[in-house]
Amino acid sequence: MRRLLQPWTTTEILVVATMGIAIGLIWVPWTWFYQATAAVLGPWAAHFVGGFWLIGGVITPYIVRKPGSALLGEMIAALAEMPLTPWGAIVLLAGLIEGGACELFFLATGYRRFSLPWLMGAAAFGGLAFSLLYLYPIQGWGRLAIEIQILYTVMRMAGAAILAGGGAKLIADALVPTGVLDAFPIARERRPEI
């Protein structure tokens, strides 16, 4: 508990910034993949693909495990993506909603639970918040058939859980053996106590 209340160290800020920027840059080609999916298979499949946009709100808390890490990771990723994406500055609002929702989820667990189901849960919760607070008003989903609304929302949440939740675990776990995360809780919890 004491650890959670300590201010962020410069190392933590820089590592979260680097992760966020890397993720934001991956999102740029991902936008084209998203649009190609929408064009070929239709929006229901694109909403699954779009779930990947939650990864910034999952991977940084998984590594740093401090209050604010989800919001900060997702916002920095959105900031890095902003000048390069066809969506423009609105991605900051999207990042705020997605990162904020993931943050709330981890806050509710007291920043203690980071196994795969919890990571997937956080991502799915972020996907739900994004559907309700962003896609409904902006894309006017309220006027679509109710089955379509449910399908879109469920696909968003499933895509978030699998692509963002699973992806965050895959990438972060692969980074631990390289040793660069040794200063962070994700690596510390795996070391045997001496």
Partner 1 sequence: MSQGVYVETGSSLHRLNPLTKFVLVIPTTLILTLVVDIAVPALFSLFFLLALLTLGRVPASRLGRALLPFLPVGIGLLWTTAAFYQTRMAETPTVALELGPFQLTWPGIVYAVSIVLRVLAIYASSLLFLLTTHPTDFVLALVQQCRLPVRLGYGVMAAYRFVPLLSAELAQIRAAHRVRGVPEGGGLLAAPRRLLGYAIPLLASGIRRAQQVAVAMDARALGAQPRRTFYRRLRFSRSDLAFLLAYASFTVIVLTLLVWMGLPARLDVFSGPTMRR
Distance CA 148, CA 55 (A): 25
Distance between CA atoms of residues 63 and 141, nearest Å: 35
**Interface residues toward partner 1, by CB under 8 A:** 8-11, 13-15, 17-22, 25, 35, 38-39, 42-43, 46, 72, 76, 79-80, 82-90, 93, 136-140, 142-146, 148, 170-171, 174-175, 178, 180-181, 183
Residues 6+ apart with CB under 8 A from 131: 141, 152, 153, 156, 157
- Minimum separation from the CB atom of position 14 to partner 1 (A): 4
Q: Taking the complex as a whole, how short is the minimal distance between the CB of residue 82 and partner 1, in angstroms?
A: 7
Closer by beta carbon to partner 1, 38 or else 113: 38
Nearer to partner 1, 56 or 121 (CB): 56
Q: Which is nearer to partner 1, 43 or 113 (CB)?
A: 43
| Residue 185 token pair | 């809780």
- Please report how close the Cβ of residue 23 comes to partner 1 at its closest, in angstroms: 10
Q: Taking Cα atoms as reference points, which of 76, 104, 98 lies closest to residue 164?
A: 98
Rounded to the nearest whole angstrom, what is the least distance from the CB of residue 112 to partner 1 in the complex?
Answer: 24
Nearer to partner 1, 119 or 121 (CB): 119
- Cβ–Cβ contacts within 10 Å for residue 32, how many? 11
CB distance 123 to 102 below 8 Å: yes
